[in-house]
């Protein structure tokens, strides 16, 4: 299985690079950034998202015809979002579509690969920075081939915390997001940041320049690849209420260590969006 998995991962890296090239080219063409909307007027999608997901899935199907897929835009088009024990590619063709539309320079192709419902490897290609983040379970995390290591900071007061505001603008949700943010700022922490993509935020944790990232409202395709990259860089994952993380729950804390993660959890005003797999929370 070892060599087989490496072969699959090599293909993921190659197709992520190819997809990133398409995204970079599309950035120069207004038409390919024309905006459509999904769950809300600020949940954006472009034909480039759809084109890139199609490219990745077709390329994988040719080489690995029995594998399954969970792709953001396929799910938006009505496909089921179900994780089975079968080999499954979990794809966000463009993580940071809003950034892409505005040429804000953090845009990633995110590919996680799961077997037995466990993420085996993750590939995040931050294509405008030309940074290829990779991690295979048990084999370490890398950026452009250089090993990654989380920050050794234990004191949340000396930390940078990353989060996002998401695309749900219902009053109650916005209130909760700001309540968590206020609590965390008031700890106080050195700063709060957000790249506009969950995948890149997680790679920033893995790289050691951000101590923790948390968000309620992410989807499995935003965080599948990043989850193994964080863990392989020495970090930890947990639910926003401190229990074990569940990638379908749309809630995540990714941190450099348990001390920082648990401290952040204390300040999060948690809520439970509808799960990606439609099961009860």
Residues that bind Mg ion (CB under 5 A): 72, 92, 94-95, 222
How many CA within 13 A on the CB side of residue 175?
Answer: 4
- From the CB of 108, what's the least distance to ligand F1X, in Å? 9
Q: Catalytic one among 46, 97, 134, 197? A: 97
Known active-site residue 222: yes
By rule CB under 6 A, what string of x and - marks binding of each residue 96-115 to ligand F1X? xx------------------
Any contact of residue 231 with ligand F1X (CB under 6 A)?
A: no
**Chain position carrying tokens 């979002």:** 81
> Where does this chain touch ligand F1X (CB under 6 A) — which range of 6-14, 89-97, 183-191, 265-273?
89-97
Burial of 233 (0-12, 13-18, 19+ CB in 10 A): buried
Any contact of residue 73 with ligand F1X (CB under 6 A)?
A: no
Nearest Cα residue to 213 out of 98, 93, 222, 276: 222
Q: Catalytic one among 49, 53, 215, 222? A: 222
- Alpha-carbon distance 220 to 218, whole Å? 7
Alpha-carbon torsion, ordered 97, 249, 118, 79, to 10 deg: -60
Considering the complex, state which of residue 110 and residue 134 has its C-beta at the smaller distance from Mg ion: 110
- Alpha-carbon distance 199 to 226, whole Å? 5
SS3 state at 244:
coil
Considering the complex, state which of residue 23 and residue 206 has its C-beta at the smaller distance from Mg ion: 23
Q: Which of 73, 215, 231, 276 binds ligand F1X (CB under 6 A)?
A: 215
The answer to whether the CB of 220 falls within 8 A of the CB of 117 is no
Residue 217, Ramachandran bin (φ over 0: left; ψ between -120 and 50: alpha; else beta): left
- From the CB of 126, what's the least distance to Mg ion, in Å? 13
- From the CB of 97, what's the least distance to ligand F1X, in Å? 4
Q: Which of 197, 207, 227, 256 binds ligand F1X (CB under 6 A)?
A: 197
Q: Quote the DSSP letter at residue 209.
A: S
> Which of ligand F1X, Mg ion, none does residue 215 bind (CB under 5 to 8 Å by kind)?
ligand F1X
- From the CB of 48, what's the least distance to ligand F1X, in Å? 11
CB-based closest residue to Mg ion? 95
Kindly give, in sequence order, each residue whose CB lies less than 8 Å from that of residue 113, ignoring residues fewer than 6 positions away: 8, 9, 12, 87, 88, 89, 90, 119, 120, 121, 122
Q: Site residues (CB under 6 A) for ligand F1X?
A: 72, 92, 94-97, 164, 166-167, 196-198, 215, 217-219, 222
Q: Which residues are the active-site residues?
A: 72, 92, 94-95, 97, 222
């Amino acid at each position: 299985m070892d060599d087989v998995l490496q072969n699959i991962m090599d293909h993921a890296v190659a197709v992520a690079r190819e997809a990133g090239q398409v995204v970079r080219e599309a950035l120069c063409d207004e038409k390919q950034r024309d905006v459509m909307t999904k769950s809300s007027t600020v949940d954006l999608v472009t034909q480039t998202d759809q084109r890139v997901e199609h490219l990745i899935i077709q390329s994988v199907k040719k080489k690995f015809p029995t594998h399954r897929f969970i792709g953001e835009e396929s799910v938006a088009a009505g496909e089921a979002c179900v994780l089975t024990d079968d080999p499954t590619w979990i794809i966000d063709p463009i993580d940071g579509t809003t950034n892409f539309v505005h040429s804000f320079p953090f845009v990633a192709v995110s590919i996680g690969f799961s077997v037995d419902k466990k993420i085996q490897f993750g590939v995040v290609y931050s294509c405008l920075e030309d940074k290829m983040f990779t991690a295979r379970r048990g084999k370490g995390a890398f950026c452009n081939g250089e090993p990654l290591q989380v920050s050794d900071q234990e004191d949340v007061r000396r930390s940078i915390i990353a989060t996002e505001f998401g695309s749900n603008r219902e009053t109650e949700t916005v209130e909760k997001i700001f309540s968590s943010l206020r609590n965390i700022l008031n700890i106080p922490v050195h700063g709060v940041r957000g790249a506009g993509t969950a995948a890149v935020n997680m790679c920033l944790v893995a790289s050691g320049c951000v101590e923790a990232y948390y968000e309620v409202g992410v989807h499995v395709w935003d965080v599948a690849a990043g989850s193994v990259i964080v863990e392989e860089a020495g970090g930890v994952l947990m639910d926003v209420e401190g229990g074990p993380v569940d990638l379908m729950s749309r809630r995540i804390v990714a941190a450099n260590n348990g001390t920082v993660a648990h401290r952040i959890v204390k300040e999060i005003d948690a809520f439970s969006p509808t799960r990606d797999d439609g099961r009860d929370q």
